[in-house]
Amino acid sequence: MPSTLGLEACSSDKEQNMAELLKVENLKTQFHTESGVVKAVDGISYYIDEREIIGLVGESGCGKSVSQLSVMQLISTPGKIVGGEVIFEGKDLLKYKTHGPEMRSVRGAKIAMIFQEPMTSLNPVLTVNQQLTEMLELHLKMSKKAARGRAIELLGMVGIPDAQNRIDDYPHQFSGGMRQRVMIAMALSCSPKILIADEPTTALDVTTQAQLLELMKDMVERLQTSLVIVTHNLGVVARYAQRIYIMYAGRIVEAGTTKDIFGKPRHPYTIGLLKCIPRLDEEEGRKLVPIKGLPPNLINMPPTCAFLPRCSYKVGRCSKEPWPPLKNLHGQHYVSCYANTEVKDK
Partner 1 sequence: MSPRQDETILEARELKMYFPVTRGLLQRKVADVKAVDGVTFKIRRGETLGLVGESGCGKTTIGRCVLRLYQPTAGQILFEGEDISPLPESKMRRIRCNMSLIFQDPYSSLDPRQSAGSIVGEPLKIHQWVSSRSEYNDRVEQLFRLVGLDPSMSGRFPHEFSGGQRQRIGVARALACEPSLIVCDEPISALDVSIQAQIINLLEELQEGIKGLTYLFIAHDLSVVRHISDRVAVMYLGHIVEITRSRELYENPLHPYTKALLSAVPIADPFVEEKRERIILKGEVPTPLNPPSGCSFHPRCFMATPECSQVVPPLRDVGGDHEVACIRV
Q: Which residues in this chain contact partner 1 in the complex, by CB under 8 A?
A: 1, 59-60, 175, 177-178, 205-211, 214, 232-236, 238-239, 258-259, 262-263, 272-274, 276-282, 284-291, 294-295
Minimal distance in Å, beta carbon 40 to partner 1?
16
Among candidate residues 207, 153, 155, the one with its CA nearest the CA of residue 179:
155
d(C-alpha 137, C-alpha 142), whole Å: 5
Minimal distance in Å, beta carbon 259 to partner 1?
6
How many Å separate Cα 164 from the centre of its chain?
Answer: 33
How many Å separate Cα 269 from the centre of its chain?
Answer: 18
- The smaller minimum CB distance to partner 1, of residues 148 and 179, is found at 179
Minimal distance in Å, beta carbon 85 to partner 1?
31
Minimal distance in Å, beta carbon 106 to partner 1?
31
Minimal distance in Å, beta carbon 180 to partner 1?
11
- The smaller minimum CB distance to partner 1, of residues 81 and 160, is found at 160
DSSP structure string for 214-231:
HHHHHHHHHHT-EEEEEE
- The smaller minimum CB distance to partner 1, of residues 125 and 206, is found at 206
- Do β-strands 226-231 and 20-33 pair in parallel, antiparallel, or remain unpaired? unpaired
- The smaller minimum CB distance to partner 1, of residues 126 and 288, is found at 288
Minimal distance in Å, beta carbon 22 to partner 1?
23
Minimal distance in Å, beta carbon 200 to partner 1?
13
10 Å CB burial of residue 283 (0-12, 13-18, 19+) is exposed
- The smaller minimum CB distance to partner 1, of residues 87 and 203, is found at 203
10 Å CB burial of residue 8 (0-12, 13-18, 19+) is exposed
- Residue 46 is inside which H or E element, if any? strand 36-49
DSSP-derived secondary structure letter, 168: T
- The smaller minimum CB distance to partner 1, of residues 46 and 248, is found at 248
d(C-alpha 199, C-alpha 210), whole Å: 13
- The smaller minimum CB distance to partner 1, of residues 13 and 283, is found at 283
- The smaller minimum CB distance to partner 1, of residues 92 and 218, is found at 218
Q: What b/e string do you get for 223-245 counting C-beta neighbours within 10 Å, with b at 16 or more?
A: eebbbbbbbebbebbbebbbbbb
- Do β-strands 243-248 and 53-57 pair in parallel, antiparallel, or remain unpaired? parallel
- Contact yes or no for 116/69 (Cβ under 8 A): no
Minimal distance in Å, beta carbon 276 to partner 1?
4
Compute the C-alpha angle 318/322/323, nearest 5°: 80
